[in-house]
A and B are shown apart, each in its own frame.
Chain A
Amino acid sequence: MSNKKNILELKNITVSFDGEKILDDISLSISDKEFVTLLGPSGCGKTTTLRIIAGFLEPDSGDVFFDGEIINSLPANKRNVNTIFQRYALFPHLNVYDNIAFGLKVKKVPKDEIKKRVKEMLKLVNLEGFEKRSIAKLSGGQQQRVAIARAVINKPKILLLDEPLAALDLKLRKDMQTELKNIQKQLGITFIFVTHDQEEALSMSDKVVVMNEGKIQHIGTPQDIYNEPVNAFVADFIGESNIIDGVMLDDFKVKIEGVTLQCLDKGFKTNEAVDVVIRPEDVDIVHPEKGLITGEVTSVTFLGVHFEIIVDVNGFKWMIQTTDESKVGDKVGLLIEPDAIHIMKKSKYSGLYGDYSSFSDEMDEISNPDVEIVSEED
């Protein structure tokens, strides 16, 4: 029934709270020693998915397989899975040593062995000498390390990490990303990592699972989801993209803005309406006469490495990243190579993303009085 090589499998998991579907038909296979990231906006069901895997929540329908066996109703304390919680949940009444030793003490491991293994863990997370320190006297980064040590000392098959880096500042965050990767390699266990930071997801993962509104949108390697997003939501969520309405004239031929372009995609119906993704860095700015498409520059922002230029083409605004300088009001031509074009089937997200004529979505939300902004921290 289930593939033995997969350490964990979710099959058609559905969860509802108060009649609202929070997870909708989630299916996911994770193999041993893999670094998998669940990526999606706030409230899309990432934590809920982790809670299903950890055993804090039973799915309304669907099955959870661990090593090929159904574990739907196996309680959390009997699962070979450990969690690093969104806000660490370190025990405030215990010091660093006792926090890390907690799991082994519960399992009645002999004292000498506990001592030895805690020592190893403190070394692994670079916290030697902090044994007696109380939790309240640790910095965010140090608490983070204690949480890692407390979880992995139990030698879980799978480690679940719920936005473990969200509370850290940028520099520490970058360091911890590398460190987490190293720890995962060193221990040789599966990591299921939750984040809503797409850059973090791309740089750390073997496999990225993009979620939205309780559904999995796309599963693939970081390259896959960046280069070949399945729909407008994924294309927009992973990096910047221009998403233009197009028509597939034939295999390898797509028409946008009245111009027929060569592309590498095939297998669509003749004259099928499609979404065309073109990444900002894949467009060349040329003299208007040499370009396939022409437009007018409406804004130029210098970002150090490159300029970010907005070009108005028949009312649709493209974002282009280029090292060539242009001025607002310039008429420019756009040159697009066939391999810069990615064709997606129309989805319910078509038309919602990929146009730079307004501010970003977040900006819209901030200035919309009907949208309540829920802050991450409490």
Chain B
Amino acid sequence: MKKSFLSKLINAPYILWSAIFIVVPLIIVAYFTFTNKNGSFSLENIYEIPDYTGIFLRSIIYALVATAITLVVSYPFAYFMSRTKVRTQSMMIMLVMLPMWMNLLIRTYSWTTILEKTGLINSFFGLFGLGPYNLIGTSGAVIVGMVYNYLPYMILPIYTSMSKIDKSYIEAAKDLGSSSFDSLKRVILPLTLPGIISGITMVFVPSVSTFYIADKLGSTKTLMIGDVIQKKFDIDVYSGIGASLSLVLMVIILICIVFMNRFSDSEDGGIIV
């Protein structure tokens, strides 16, 4: 189909917008990656990247664990939510979305008051003469923080694809001899796959690149790549190594999205990036 002049005109602001806010920043990142302090071409920022392999790996592992936990928690949750009455469902969606309207920093900060030595959990254990336990500053705390923050991004797409399933498919499965487990495995799971994939992407991508959570809830041993990049730019806004690490992170995320997209049929459950 040949695009008319009018449709080009309508698309123009969008293309301009994309150019200014997506392409230009990318070019700037690339510029700082491949130049040194004097502004001349240099690969010194690239040579430094291997020093951060450990942190990259840690970030990926934390993000994978957090994504896996959110998936395991969200799937049954979405499943039972989709089977309640319609009014209960909209009520529950509201509750799931409520924390999303609060700032991530505040949400994360509130976890410190729960996990710290004098926090909620340790006070509770204290009643029985136990603890205090070292909860804050651990990798567990970082992962809990990510799970908590990104849970809605897993629940909502799964719930959406779950509630789209026509009830008659589940009845047909029953009719053909399936137990509840069989229908879950053979019908519900495959039909909610697009939701699962978009949930995984929507949790993994922000998790792997997150900052502040590991900073607040973890220790220096649990720092993630996002925190490192943030600190680099904190010190120097024109940080070359900060730019090169960002570039690597973007490549990792891009690979992840392309990989996940291969699993989902393009028709529905499109991934929101």
Which residues of A are in contact with B by a Cβ distance under 8 Å?
Answer: 54-56, 75-77, 81-83, 85, 87, 89-93, 102-103, 105-107, 150-151, 154
Contact = CB atoms under 8 A, between A and B. Distances in A.
A55 B213 CA distance: 51
Contact of A56 (B174, B182, B186, B191): B174
Question: Among the interface residues A82, A90, A91, A154, which one has the most CB atoms of the partner chain B within 10 A?
Answer: A91
Given A91-B187, A92-B191, A93-B191, A77 B168 contact: no
Given A93-B191, A106-B186, A150 B176 contact: yes
Contacts of B139: none
Given A77-B178, A89-B166, A102 B173 contact: yes
Interface size classification for chain B: 10 to 19
Contacts of A55: 174
- Give the top 9 A-B pairs by smallest Cβ distance, nearest first: A89-B168, A103-B176, A89-B172, A76-B174, A93-B190, A106-B177, A83-B175, A77-B177, A77-B174
A85 B175 CA distance: 10
B53 interface: no
A102 B174 CA distance: 11
A30 B166 CA distance: 31
A54 B168 CA distance: 13
Contacts of A92: 169, 191
B172 A77 contact: no
A195 B175 CA distance: 20
Contacts of B177: 77, 103, 106-107, 154
A150 B177 CA distance: 12
A106 B190 contact: no
B175 A54 contact: yes
Query: Which label, helix, strand, loop or mixed, suits the secondary structure of the A interface?
Result: mixed
A105 B168 CA distance: 19
Nearest to A51: B171
Contacts of A154: 176-177
A106 B176 contact: yes
30 contacts: A55-B174, A56-B171, A76-B171, A77-B175, A77-B179, A77-B182, A81-B175, A82-B175, A85-B168, A85-B171, A89-B171, A89-B172, A91-B169, A91-B172, A91-B173, A91-B187, A92-B169, A93-B190, A102-B176, A102-B186, A103-B176, A105-B186, A106-B173, A106-B177, A106-B182, A107-B177, A151-B175, A151-B176, A154-B176, A154-B177
A108 B191 CA distance: 22
A81 B190 CA distance: 26
B194 to A, nearest CB: 10
A147 to B, nearest CB: 9
B243 to A, nearest CB: 44
B179 A87 contact: no
Contacts of A56: 171, 174
Nearest to B265: A93
A106 B175 CA distance: 11
A151 B186 CA distance: 17
Contacts of B168: 85, 87, 89
Question: Among the interface residues B173, B176, B182, B186, which one has the most CB atoms of the partner chain A within 10 A?
Answer: B176
